[in-house]
Structure 1
Amino acid sequence: MATTTKSCQEAQHVDLSKDYFSNFGFTVAYQIDLAALADQHRQLQQIYHPDRFVAGTDAEQRIAVQTASYLNQAYAVLRSPLGRAIYLLELQGMEPLAPTNTSMPMDFLLQQMQLRERMEDIPQAADVETELDALADELQAMHKQLQADFAVAYLAQQLPAAEVIVRKLQFIDKLQQECNDLEGRLLD
């Protein structure tokens, strides 16, 4: 895992023109310490929370709001495996989710169709909860594997391969959300 490269004191100055990693005190890398990220976010939010600038000038208040918003956006991106992967590729000048960038391997598309069919069949299953759990476990395993694959491809600077993996991660994220939604509808 990448570790913080700056002390908390050094990272307290947020430069909105820098990348998210730098402002949180991390090196630019896919594998980061999420607990350290959360701690750093909390510390920076305490420093830059707009409520601390209520007595400040309009400019100070505006900067505090912008900084707090930036920190929240950066934190959301960095804590998400998919968001972090997309952001890393964007830092490389790529657009992994561009509307014109939809090429996917046929075997992956077939696998997605099969997973969707399984999801559609779950409401009629004899044991809905068991089927949902099995599908959720399979999707989680796929997600973990894709994260590992992305980390390897990115580290090796195999950016076209990393870009395909990001699109796969997006598919799996969406399926996981649909599985969670289905669980909410069927089991609540």
Structure 2
Amino acid sequence: MKIFNPQLWRKLSAFLRLDLRPPISSLPLNFFHSQASSLPFSYSLSRDSHLPANLLHSFPNQFSNLFCSQSLSKSDFRRCWNCNSSPSTSAPFLVCDSCRCIQPVDPSLDYFRIFGLDQKYDIEESSLEGMYKDWQKKLHPDLVHSKSKSEREYAAEQSSRVIDAYRTLGNFLSRAIYLMKLQGVHVDEEQTVSNPELLSEIMEIRESVEEAPDSQALKQIQAEVQERMKQWSETFAVAFKSKDIEEALNAIRRMTYYKRANEEIVKRL
């Protein structure tokens, strides 16, 4: 892209260098060609040029009209960047059914939808693992090492996102936190304990771990901690289903500290 407004482009470049978010996907510029007349400056675009798919959404207002006058819609991620075909089903569109090309990451696709799951806490982890392996057979970067640079980048991004989705949903605590995030509820994992009962229980566990005479004693403490984690995991499931936000957050706080206690025990074993 050639921009004939150096000052404006320098400001834009400076802004982008401050964007410290994880790598984002790209889409072909054919989405922007139809908006060429709305650009406020002269430009030239090559056919194989690419821009980040959610670039427009990352700009402050003063940059939002640099490339086009409208935002990308969800339908933009339901059409293959290579052959322009649409998927035949409502399944996650990570790979084109027609040309088998790996697609750009759709940021609106949550982790549950990637694996075809409902947004609920209780899931079958064995099914999750199977679907994860199926995706990796289609998305692993090694499978497209001879393809275009764009598709290699899409494969790396999609594969990384599927791995993150699998790790998040495969862990009871991170799954609970992610579900709350989808509901617009922020979970502060570093929040200081203020509940006297929980604080007393945590101190008791720590003392037991420090005073444990051998690995057998540590394993006994670990079994008790894991049982408590399971109980509060079940509490969260009920609270989330009934939309009791306070109780759900309380359960997450409990699970967080039991998880840390278990990690400390593992270090000592």
* TM-score, normalised via structure 2 length: 0.60
* TM-score, normalised via structure 1 length: 0.85
Structure possessing the higher radius of gyration over alpha carbons:
2
Higher helix share: 1
- For structure 1, the residue ranges without an aligned partner over 5 or more in a row are 1-8, 184-188
2:181 aligned partner: 90
Distance 1:115 1:105 in 2: 16
Distance 2:219 2:240 in 1: 31
Distance 1:30 1:72 in 2: 19
1:153 aligned partner: 239
Tell me how far 1:171 sits from its aligned partner. Answer: 0.5
1:16–1:70 Cα contact (<8 Å) kept: no
2:113 aligned partner: 22
Q: Which structure is higher in RCO with an 8 Å CA cutoff and minimum separation 6?
A: 1
Tell me how far 1:17 sits from its aligned partner. Answer: 2.3
Tell me how far 1:163 sits from its aligned partner. Answer: 1.1
Distance 1:56 1:10 in 2: 26
2:200 aligned partner: 110
Structure 2 CA distance for partners of 1:110 and 1:103, relative to 1, 3 Å: closer
Q: CA RMSD of the aligned region, Å?
A: 1.5
Deviating more after overlay: 49-58 vs 9-18: 9-18
* Stretches (4+) displaced over 4 A: none
1:119 aligned partner: 209
1:77-98: CA deviations, max 9, x gaps? 0000011000001111111125
Distance 1:42 1:156 in 2: 33
Structure 2 CA distance for partners of 1:20 and 1:154, relative to 1, 3 Å: same
Deviating more after overlay: 161-170 vs 23-32: 161-170
- For structure 2, the residue ranges without an aligned partner over 5 or more in a row are 1-88, 95-105
